[in-house]
Amino acid sequence: MTVAADDLDTFMNGLKRRNPGEPEFHQAVQEVAGSIIPFIQDKPKYIKMRILERLAEPDRVVAFRVCWEDDEGNIRVNRGYRVQNCNAIGPYKGGIRFHPSVTLSVLKFLAFEQTFKNSLTGLPMGGGKGGADFNPKGKSDNEVMRFCQSFMTELHRHIGPDTDVPAGDIGVGAREIGYMFGQYKRLENQFTGVLTGKGMEFGGSLIRTEATGYGTIYMMQDMLTRVGDGFEGKTCLVSGSGNVAQYAAEKIIQLGGKVVTMSDSSGFIHVPGGIDEEKLAYIIDLKNVKRGRLEEATKQFECTYHAGERPWNVPCDLAFPCATQNEISGAEAKALIKNGCMGISEGANMPTVQEGIDAFIESKILFAPSKAANAGGVAVSGLEMSQNSARISWKEPELQQLLRDIMQGIHDNCVEYGAEQGGYVNYLKGANIAGFVKVADAMLAYGVV
């Protein structure tokens, strides 16, 4: 074994011992440590100051009870969290997830990843993530409102515009941000930019809604351009049908690609002729307004529905996982490669298991890892924070250009740190190292804190 591989084993054994029963957190740290440990071998300042060990221990974890009353008068109890991973380069920043699968392990993985992602944007934001094991599906608006208010009644004392600025994630969209912002404002008697993803009437930013999905596609566009290719005529798989998937699909269509799948947690639709703007508008209305199931699309337009399945066995040129973590298994990654897929850009956080990532990198196809590919969302959140601080609103063309430039910057940064002999770019390595260096150097400046 090389020194680096030996060190990785020792490091991971210690991490697993200190954090038992947290498989998603172990997975996320291992993926980053696999790039960082070889990188710091000849940089004793990072080793001596235990930078990686410190980054893998959150600054703070808050866990709390969230009680609320449902429409039948039953008292319900959920668990809420905020994981504040690292504020070395700015206030903690990251989304809030409401989903029954939320655990401390999931939020620790997300807060850890967010630290590197936010650094990559070039904006002054630290890493955090929060959420609850609350299931918004099937709940009335009033139930969601009561839950959000109760959640914020505890969370408000841990956040603030210069302390920690949450936003949306799975199960948290414009409706939930509105309810939480209203409760924060009421409790603190302050109108500040404490959340991002707000409505336009109360300090939101244009294109925040579109930013994550668009950014994921821009990342692929930049990878394709680098190898002299483009989106025109490419068959694309998209998973998910929520915020990120919707705008990833929209941008693919605008760039001349063909989106042949979308999915939700029950199954996927296959549309061999492609999802056009009209079909996408139907899907957006179905998911955002009617809060229905994707299967209903079979009644609206020609498509096949595959219950309980994921789209990765459908032949394609490009794939965009935009639903959730670990949604591409090792076998599915290999099926994608075998069927001719030439590129993956991850809209969701950690959608590919480690075996799948290894297969993508080994086969040398284009692979943009989530912390680079989906950073457009938090980047525009950072721009929302700037606008709130200055009490101004930028216009759409300006914001579109800023998002485009930030994604290009992330791409180029990954190339700088991830270029290997023979012209192949390991974007995973590039993203991990580029994200690490800025945070690590700030931590060195602070000494032992």
Cite the active site residues.
129
Which does residue 94 bind out of ligand NDP, ligand 2IT, none, counting CB within 5 to 8 angstroms by kind? Answer: ligand 2IT
d(CA 374, CA 117): 8
Of the candidates 40, 170, 314, 319, which one interacts with ligand NDP according to CB under 6 A? 170
- Under rule CB under 6 A, residue 90 binds ligand NDP: no
- Provide the strand spans (E) within 227-340: 235-238, 258-264, 267-270, 304-307, 318-320
* Site stretch for ligand 2IT (CB under 6 A), options 6-14, 131-139, 373-381, 431-439: 373-381
- Under rule CB under 6 A, residue 343 binds ligand 2IT: no
State the DSSP H helix or E strand holding residue 246, giving kind and residue range, or none if neither: helix 243-254
DSSP 57: S
Of the candidates 34, 58, 80, 94, which one interacts with ligand 2IT according to CB under 6 A? 94
- Under rule CB under 6 A, residue 429 binds ligand 2IT: no
d(CA 29, CA 11): 10
- Under rule CB under 6 A, residue 183 binds ligand NDP: no
What angle (nearest 5°) sits at the alpha carbon of residue 314, between those of residues 312 and 316?
95
Nearest C-alpha neighbor of 325 from the set 167, 105, 142: 105
Using the minimum distance from each CB to ligand NDP, give the nearer residue, 402 or 443: 402
Site for ligand NDP in 321-340 (CB under 6 A): 322-324
Nearest C-alpha neighbor of 337 from the set 310, 309, 323, 318: 318
Identify the burial level of 422 via C-beta atoms within 10 angstroms of its C-beta, where 0-12 means exposed, 13-18 middle and 19 or more buried: exposed
CB 241 within 8 A of CB 219: no
d(CA 343, CA 365): 6
Site for ligand NDP in 13-42 (CB under 6 A): none
The residue nearest ligand NDP at its CB is: 242
- Under rule CB under 6 A, residue 167 binds ligand 2IT: yes
Residues in binding contact with ligand 2IT, number by CB under 6 A: 12
State the DSSP H helix or E strand holding residue 63, giving kind and residue range, or none if neither: strand 60-69
Using the minimum distance from each CB to ligand NDP, give the nearer residue, 222 or 264: 264
CB 253 within 8 A of CB 280: yes
At 166 the three-state DSSP class reads strand
**123-135 as b/e: b if 16+ CB within 10 A:** bebbbbbbbbbbe
Site for ligand NDP in 241-300 (CB under 6 A): 241-245, 264-266
Using the minimum distance from each CB to ligand 2IT, give the nearer residue, 204 or 257: 204
- Under rule CB under 6 A, residue 382 binds ligand NDP: no
Which does residue 35 bind out of ligand NDP, ligand 2IT, none, counting CB within 5 to 8 angstroms by kind? Answer: none
Angle 330-338/354-363 helices, nearest 10 degrees? 20
The encoded tokens of residue 199 equal 């409505």
For the CB of residue 239, give the shortest distance to ligand NDP in the complex, in Å.
Answer: 7
Which does residue 406 bind out of ligand NDP, ligand 2IT, none, counting CB within 5 to 8 angstroms by kind? Answer: none
For the CB of residue 112, give the shortest distance to ligand 2IT in the complex, in Å.
Answer: 12
Query: Which residues are at the interface with ligand 2IT (CB under 6 A)?
Result: 93-95, 114, 117, 167, 169, 196, 349, 377-378, 381
Query: Which residues are at the interface with ligand NDP (CB under 6 A)?
Result: 99, 101, 168-171, 173, 212, 240-245, 264-266, 322-324, 347-349, 374, 377
